[in-house]
C-alpha cells in the first residue's frame, strides 16, 4: 500500500481542527458527542485523512461507550496496531495503514464471533452511505 505523506500545514488545510487534533495528535473526542456514534445508516467508514476503507456498517454495534464501535475491519491490512502507554495504561492503538492517522483503540470486550471492539473516534472517520 502506498503511503499518503503530507506536511503538517497540508494536514491542517485538509482537516478540521478537531479532526487534526484527533488524527495527527492522537487525541480523543468526548463520548456521545461524535457525528457517528449513533449513526445507523448502511455504508462504509473511511479514514478522514486518506479515504482508505476501514469499516462497514454491518460490523458496527452499540457498545454503550459513546464512540463508534466495530467488531471487525473491512481488511486487517488497512489498520496498524501499536502499543499505547499513555494515561498510565497499556492499550492497543489503531492507526490508518495508509496515512498514519490515529483512529482509536482496540479492546477485547466486543461481541462474538470476534470478541473485539474497535473503538474509533468519529472525527477520524468519513461515512459514505451505500447506494
pLDDT tens for the chain, 131 residues: list them.
899 999 999 999 999 999 999 999 999 999 999 999 999 999 999 999 999 999 999 999 999 999 999 999 999 999 999 877 776 777 899 999 999 999 999 999 999 999 999 999 999 999 999 98
SS3 124: helix
Is the Cβ–Cβ distance between 27 and 34 less than 8 Å? no
Is the Cβ–Cβ distance between 47 and 122 less than 8 Å? no
Peptide bond into 113 cis (omega under 30): yes
96 is catalytic: no
Q: What are the extents of the domains in the chain?
A: 8-129
Question: What pLDDT score was predicted for residue 84?
Answer: 74
The CATH label, of 1.10.10.10, 2.40.30.10, 2.170.150.20, 3.90.190.20, for the domain at 8-129 is 2.170.150.20
SS3 105: strand
Q: Pick left, alpha or beta for residue 100 (phi over 0 → left; psi -120 to 50 → alpha; otherwise beta).
A: left
Question: Considering Cα of 25, then 55, then 34, then 82, what sign does the dihedral take?
Answer: negative
Question: What pLDDT score was predicted for residue 85?
Answer: 74
Of 47, 96, 99, 119, catalytic: 119
pTM value?
A: 0.93
Amino acid at each position: 500500500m502506498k503511503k499518503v505523506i503530507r506536511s503538517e500545514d497540508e494536514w491542517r488545510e485538509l482537516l478540521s481542527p478537531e479532526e487534526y487534533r484527533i488524527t495527527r495528535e492522537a487525541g480523543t473526542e468526548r463520548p456521545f458527542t461524535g457525528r457517528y456514534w449513533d449513526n445507523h445508516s448502511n455504508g462504509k467508514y473511511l479514514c478522514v485523512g486518506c479515504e482508505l476503507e476501514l469499516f462497514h456498517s454491518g460490523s458496527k454495534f452499540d457498545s454503550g461507550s459513546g464512540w463508534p464501535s466495530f467488531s471487525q475491519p473491512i481488511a486487517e491490512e488497512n489498520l496498524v496496531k501499536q502499543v499505547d502507554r499513555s494515561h498510565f495504561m497499556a492499550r492497543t492503538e489503531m492507526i490508518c495503514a495508509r496515512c498514519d492517522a490515529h483512529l482509536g483503540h482496540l479492546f477485547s470486550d466486543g461481541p462474538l464471533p470476534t470478541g473485539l471492539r474497535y473503538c474509533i473516534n468519529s472525527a477520524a472517520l468519513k461515512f459514505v452511505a451505500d447506494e
